[in-house]
Amino acid sequence: MKVLIVGNLPLDTTQITGGVQSVIINLLEGFIENKIKVYVFSLNSELIKRERIEYSENIVIDYFPFGKIKSTKIENLFHGRKLLKKYIDEIKPDIIHFQGNGSNLLLAIGLRKDNLVVTPHAILREEYKHQATFRAKINHRLVIFIEKILLPNFNNYIFISNYAKEYFLSEYKKIRKKNYTIIFNPISEKFFKTNIKKVYSDKFIYTGALIKRKGLHILIEALKEVKLKFNDFHLDLVGDFLDQKYKQKIMDFVKKYNLIGNITFHGWQSQENVFNLLQNNDCFILPSFQETLPVSVAEAMAMGKIVISSRVGGISEMIDHEENGFLFESGNSSQLADIILGLKNKVLNKIAINAAEKARNNFESRNVVNKTIKFYQKIIL
């Protein structure tokens, strides 16, 4: 079997900046132990000519340059489609697996559908509600339109959570008659190699884009309440701001609430640095307003971290409240503060061990890849 994964990766695969990119890299890790030949097709606006990375003996990543127009949607629709068709003729894959449900779907126009698989990661209509700028809203509207036209035309779907499955089957009734399954997002084996020691709750970390949808302002407001009771805590923020107005709002809050000494802004970091920062913290906090099945939560669970997350999307399929983590209602900063205060000075090893065990059973990359291969085999038989 030969598999082609269609998705965007950076030239330096250690510099991952998004959930879909993490999923692709983690899938590749799981594929390494298989004899299946895997190719990755990725467009890159910085390239002048095609570049290839021999990721492993059975995995190749091929990067292709944009054409004259440096617009992702236009490139995907015209130049990118031509490149992909030629690439398919060159490698002759048995399965073509599209990762993501945005403008990437434009690359699928004109391809035969029987061996195409798509994994839609985002719930675009929900994400639209949290776009901060007019330009972002217009762009999101266009991506939603692309999804509406193209996503139901696939024959095979992998949903990353039951929440995602129910959403897409409700939104696009045509998909109900197609071939689909649920397979959780994979995470790297390295996250499972951490020894769980005594786990407390005064060192916190958040990783991801610093955007309104992720609810960073809710976390800052919660920490304001926490600081009224005790000051001996620290938060590492890993990620960059994508909107300057939102950045200014957050920085104003940090100064106003006298949290400058309690928070470190790290910006985007390599996977290795993120891993090290996670190791050095006790609790992972995700105050998001919308998630499907976040890789960051799965990684934190695998490392035995205490996850405190908003109860949104597929997160309730990952976290069992007070058993392997903690959930609060999205947007409720007081509830988040109460959870943080309630954990003060408590040893949380049992919850950490439960989190690591659930992560191993559900998100380990080799298991996820084995399930994915079985789904592929049903398609090509």
The whole-number average pLDDT for the span 173-185 is 96
The b-or-e profile of 297-313 (16+ CB within 10 A means b, else e) is bbbbbbbbbbbbbbebb
- How does DSSP classify residue 186? P
Q: How confident is the model at residue 345 (pLDDT cuts 50, 70, 90)?
A: confident
Parallel, antiparallel, or unpaired for β 263-267 and 283-286? unpaired
Question: Which residues does residue 204 pair with via DSSP β-bridges, in sequence order?
Answer: 235, 283
Do the Cβ atoms of 263 and 257 come closer than 8 Å?
A: no
Q: How confident is the model at residue 287 (pLDDT cuts 50, 70, 90)?
A: very high
Do the Cβ atoms of 43 and 75 come closer than 8 Å?
A: yes
Computed over every residue of the chain, the mean pLDDT equals 93
Residue partners of 284: CB distance under 8 A and separation at least 6: 204, 205, 206, 207, 278, 296, 297, 300, 305, 306, 307, 308
| pLDDT at residue 133 greater than cutoff 90 | no
DSSP result, 365-379 = HHHHHHHHHHHHHHH
- Cα-based angle 349, 355, 356 (whole degrees, multiple of 5): 90
pLDDT of residue 62: 98
pLDDT of residue 131: 84
| pLDDT at residue 201 greater than cutoff 80 | no
Parallel, antiparallel, or unpaired for β 59-65 and 51-56? antiparallel
pLDDT of residue 59: 97
- How does DSSP classify residue 293? S
Write out pLDDT tens, residues 294-327. 999 999 999 999 999 999 999 999 999 999 999 9
pLDDT of residue 202: 82
The whole-number average pLDDT for the span 316-345 is 95
Do the Cβ atoms of 262 and 223 come closer than 8 Å?
A: yes
Do the Cβ atoms of 126 and 170 come closer than 8 Å?
A: no
pLDDT of residue 271: 82
Q: How confident is the model at residue 200 (pLDDT cuts 50, 70, 90)?
A: low
| pLDDT at residue 175 greater than cutoff 90 | yes
Do the Cβ atoms of 98 and 4 come closer than 8 Å?
A: no
| pLDDT at residue 198 greater than cutoff 70 | no
pLDDT of residue 361: 94
% of the chain residues with pLDDT over 90? 81
| pLDDT at residue 79 greater than cutoff 80 | yes
Measured between alpha carbons, how far is 98 from 191 in angstroms, rounded to an integer? 26
Write out pLDDT tens, residues 225-276. 999 998 889 999 999 998 899 999 999 999 999 999 999 999 998 888 999 9
The least confident of 52-66, 123-137, 238-252 is 123-137
For residue 269, count other CB atoms closer than 10 A to its CB. Answer: 20
Joined together, the tokens standing for residue 355 give: 């989190």
105 vs 23, 171, 319, CA distance in Å? Answer: 17, 17, 31
Measured in degrees and rounded to the nearest 5, phi and psi for residue 319 equal -105, 125
